[in-house]
Amino acid sequence: MRKKGLLCNVIAASAMLCILDGSARAAEVTVGLIGELTGAIADYGKQVARGSQLAAEWLNAQGNMSGNTIKLLVEDDGSDKAQALTLLNRFALRDNASVVIGPSASPLSLAIAPRAEELAVPMITIAYSGAVVENRSWVFKSTDITANQFKAIGAYTADVLKPKACARVWVRDNDAYVQTIKAWSEAVQPKGVKLVDDTSVLLADTDFSAASTKIVSLQPDCVYLALSPEGSANFILQLKSAGLPSTTKVIGGTTMSTRSFLNAAGKAADGTFSLAEYTPGGVNDLGRQFESAYKAKFGERPDTFAALGFSQMLIVATALKQAGANPTREAIRDAFGKIRDMDTVVGRGKLSLVDRIAHYDMTILTVKGGELVPAPQQ
């Protein structure tokens, strides 16, 4: 089959059209996506779903999956564990899905991963917690483990920004945030960065005025936030209201490299630094064409979570290609484990799945004029 380019133009903001060479379809493979389209974590769940939908359209148009095509079913779990479990059972038992793209949030994916194992259905998720794949053979992570990812923002903090004293703020009722704050702290403290304040909050908290006043009074060189996109924006706004100087560096993880964060923080986002899987504009031809197609379809630039959704579907497609025509669930699962140096839009453009976990490099971004751009390296 002759390829028609990496991505096709998006027409009428609803479909990507591409001329195929007439090869017969071997199978329509059902993929069920459990997404946080509403609820507490919809700010990034919706972006993951968008990226996945865009990828499925392109992949079907490209037609390079051993003749297979993807039938993508997208359902909203409402950011709720019980609903996520209901959808997993529905996809696996009623819809006979060959692959389930699991919830984006670690608590939700951790809650349903044991059931995916029981059902013997391949499940892949961007959830950051490494525990989601532990002692399992059917569950995969399309993101790297937190310890690997957050070495990058820790090294950037200590080696490039070079603060002497930092305050840290983190969500204590979400395991992913607990892991990220630990990884960042373990990276900066051996390099002489002193932690002068430690504030833990709940995911649902919105009033940070007391904590902000306390942090400002300590006059730290930096504040590190391990919060949701909207939580990070809210905390920064309250820090600014409490008098945080513009010279104090505000740093965060991947949740601050999102469109949701930029929209919620407004001008207060300028000058912040964040960890990201995706470099705006793309790091390769695939990334650049992904960005163009995403903007044409949705009217805005993709963020890290949209790129993760796209990358996640590329992993599914690569497995379908390797598994051959009319693949079984077991064949798809085995193919996941063989993916090495796959072209993707995250990191530096290459991804491998080793021990059911994706590995790739990370990038550091800053906000300038309301847009995410690569951070200066010195």
State how far the Cα of 109 lies from the Cα of 141, in Å rounded to an integer. Answer: 10
Tell me which of 3.10.105.10, 3.40.50.720, 3.40.50.300, 3.40.50.2300 is the CATH number of domain 10-143+280-361: 3.40.50.2300
The DSSP result for 92-124, as a single string, is IIIS--SEEE--SSHHHHHHHHHHHHHHT--EE
Residue 129 has a pLDDT of 84
SS3 35: strand
Residue 183 has a pLDDT of 92
- Is the separation of the CB atoms in 111 and 85 below 8 Å? yes
How does pLDDT run across 151-172, given as a tens digit for each residue? 999 999 999 999 999 999 999 9
Cβ burial of 202 (10 Å; 0-12, 13-18, 19+) is exposed
Structural fold of domain 147-276: Rossmann fold (3.40.50)
Residue 360 has a pLDDT of 94
How does pLDDT run across 113-126, given as a tens digit for each residue? 999 999 999 999 99
SS3 40: coil
How far from 203 is each of 34, 70, 118, 169, 301, CA to CA, in Å?
21, 35, 30, 12, 27
pLDDT at 12 exceeding the cut of 50: no
| Cα–chain center distance at 264 | 18
Query: Mean pLDDT, to the nearest integer, of 206-225?
Result: 97
State how far the Cα of 113 lies from the Cα of 85, in Å rounded to an integer. Answer: 9
Calculate ∠ Cα 255-181-373, nearest 5°: 35
Residue 258 has a pLDDT of 87
Q: Identify each DSSP E strand in 235-370 by its residue range.
A: 249-252, 273-276, 342-343, 350-354, 357-359, 363-368
| Cα–chain center distance at 165 | 29
- pLDDT band, residue 3 (cuts 50/70/90): very low
Q: Identify each DSSP E strand in 106-192 by its residue range.
A: 123-125, 139-141, 165-171
As a residue count, the chain comes to 378
Q: Can you give the residue ranges of every domain in the chain?
A: 10-143+280-361, 147-276
pLDDT at 88 exceeding the cut of 70: yes
Q: What is the pTM of this model?
A: 0.79
Structure tokens at 228: 């949701």
Residue of 264 and 147 predicted with greater confidence = 264
10-143+280-361 and 147-276 in the same fold: yes
How does pLDDT run across 248-282, given as a tens digit for each residue? 999 999 999 988 899 999 999 999 999 999 999 99
Q: Which residue has the tokens 């599914």?
A: 316
Whole-number average pLDDT of the chain: 91
- Is the separation of the CB atoms in 31 and 73 below 8 Å? yes
Q: What percent of the chain has pLDDT over 90?
A: 83
Query: Mean pLDDT, to the nearest integer, of 99-112?
Result: 94
pLDDT at 20 exceeding the cut of 70: no
- Cα diameter, the chain: 68
pLDDT at 7 exceeding the cut of 80: no
In eight-state DSSP terms, residue 172 is S
Residue 27 has a pLDDT of 85
pLDDT at 191 exceeding the cut of 90: yes
pLDDT at 368 exceeding the cut of 80: yes
In eight-state DSSP terms, residue 166 is E
The pairing of strands 249-252 and 273-276 is: parallel
Residue 17 has a pLDDT of 32
Residue 14 has a pLDDT of 35
How far from 63 is each of 51, 52, 262, CA to CA, in Å?
18, 16, 36
